[in-house]
Chain A
Amino acid sequence: MSKYNLNNSYKAVVIGGSAGSFQGVVKILSQLPKGFPLPIIMCLHRLKHVRNGFVEALSIKSVVQVTEPHDKENIKKGSVYLAPANYHMSVELGLYFALSTEEMINNSRPAIDITLGTSAFVYKEKLIGILLSGANKDGALGMKNIHDRGGLTIVQEPSECMIDTMPRAALAATKIDHIMKVDQIVEFLKELDKQYR
């Protein structure tokens, strides 16, 4: 029996983060079990005009190469994706990404609410949403969408966050299934991985 009562019905993990989330993301990606079975879809706030370097920085320690998808690129199991600078990234019903240059949302492009919200729509109860440290409330609505569609919601323990506005906004907006430190998130993903072996 797994500690978190997990099973192997999940189809994707989506992660949102902003100020103070970089270290957490690096830790998660560096300790990901080899051959992790699900796609990991990340939307992290980043400088609009800096197109290069971020994905490389995240990839250095990551078990899996991180990629920024092209518009209409298919989502593959076991791949790790990052929303590109200055585009919103949504997940579409045919299991591919669509990018857009629409208005900023919550002062952000990419906006976490868009990636989380569209993922929730597509993956429904088969989605795990994780929201990390951040200084605004982007992602709270997306976490609510995930919960409302039956998915599992996790936020980083606010006391561990460099800036806890983002996880707190999510806690206020919807039911959060687990509040975890980054180390626990890593453990959680290892447990999840075992369900697919």
Chain B
Amino acid sequence: MKKLTEQPSFINEFLDELTVNVTEMFRDPSFWRIMREEIIPAIMLNHKQFKIWHAGCSSGEEVVSMCIMLKEMGILHDVTIIATDLDVNILERAKQATYPVKNMELNEKNYIRFQGTRSFKDYYREENGNAVFNKDLLMNVSFRRHDLVTGDIFNKFDLVLCRNVMIYFNQALQNEVLKKFHESLFKYGYLAIGSKESLIWCDYANRFIVVNNEEKIYKKIKD
């Protein structure tokens, strides 16, 4: 165990094994359609520029999806994105925005179901069996290590995405983490969780309303 505490890089490799980070682009295409058609337009009614937090961003597929969507909406420049994860190795991968070409088939299918307006292949080039996404997409994104359980509140956001992360926490932790999201959101900001996650048993649930039950999108209505 000594080795664990003394060598940070070893800890990180260890974490890479333990934390689970399998993900895909435009996971749940219907979610992304609601984002494009309802949630983002609703935010833009009040703010021309706004901030998004991807909490538990894993290898960044969700962030790339968001950036592609915002670009197609013509507002990529107006959005500041912070993407965090517990796991530094996975964050390194997220920064590279480089993924095995074999994953692109599923990602492209999801993109088509999302009804993106371009050809998915426009967004990356192939290099040695990898799909390397255009770096411009991520120009307003900053990646940081942040632990949802122990980490502090570090900013305020209009939209927080934390999808399929809280499934790894027990209910007591979920409760704590929801408090942090509540504090990290502007009033009337939005929170999106995974399609099979639920907030109903959390203390802070009554400070949110359900905007879309199917896609698990909530809105903070009380401080």
By a CB distance below 8 angstroms, the chain A residues around B167 are 71-72, 98-101
Would you call B22 and A101 a contact (CB within 8 A)?
yes
Number of A positions contacting B (CB below 8 A)? 17
Q: Which residues of B contact A87 (CB under 8 A)?
A: 196
What is the CB-to-nearest-CB distance from A104 to chain B, in angstroms, rounded to a whole number?
8
**Do the beta carbons of A70 and B197 come within 8 Å of each other?**
yes
Option from A51, A72, A100 in Cβ contact (under 8 Å) with B195: A51
B165 nearest in chain A by CB position: A101
Instruction: Tell me the residues in window 27-43 of chain B with beta carbons closer than 8 Å to chain A beta carbons.
Output: 27-30
Chain B residue total in the interface (Cβ 8 A): 23
| Residue pair B22, A70 in contact (C-beta under 8 Å) | no
Contacts A68-B196, A71-B196, A101-B167; is A49 near B20 (CB within 8 Å)? no
Asked if A84 lies at the interface with its beta carbon under 8 angstroms from chain B, I say yes
Rounded to whole angstroms, the CA-CA distance of A72 and B174 in the bound complex is: 11
Give chain B residues whose Cβ lies under 8 Å from the Cβ of A84: 195-196
A118 to B109, CA, bound (A): 32
Q: How far is the CA of A84 from the CA of B214 in the complex (A)?
A: 13
With a CB–CB cut-off of 8 A, which chain A residues contact B194? 71, 101
> Known interface pairs A49-B29, A72-B171, A98-B167. Does A103 touch B22 (Cβ–Cβ under 8 Å)?
yes
A73 within 8 A of B: yes
Cβ-closest chain A residue relative to B201: A72
Does the CB pair A49–B198 fall under 8 Å? no
Among A68, A70, A73, A102, the residue within 8 A (CB) of B20 is A102
- The answer on a CB contact under 8 Å between A101 and B113 is no
Sort A-B residue pairs by CB-CB distance and give the 9 closest, nearest first. A70-B198, A71-B167, A101-B164, A99-B196, A71-B197, A84-B196, A102-B20, A103-B22, A99-B167
Residues of A within 8 A of B (CB): 49, 51, 68-73, 84, 86-87, 98-103
B residues adjacent to A (C-beta < 8 A) = 20, 22-23, 27-30, 109-110, 113, 164, 166-168, 170-171, 174, 194-198, 201
- Supplied contacts A70-B197, A101-B20, 14 more A-B pairs, CB within 8 Å: A49-B29, A49-B109, A51-B195, A71-B166, A71-B194, A72-B174, A84-B196, A86-B27, A99-B167, A99-B197, A100-B20, A100-B167, A101-B22, A103-B22
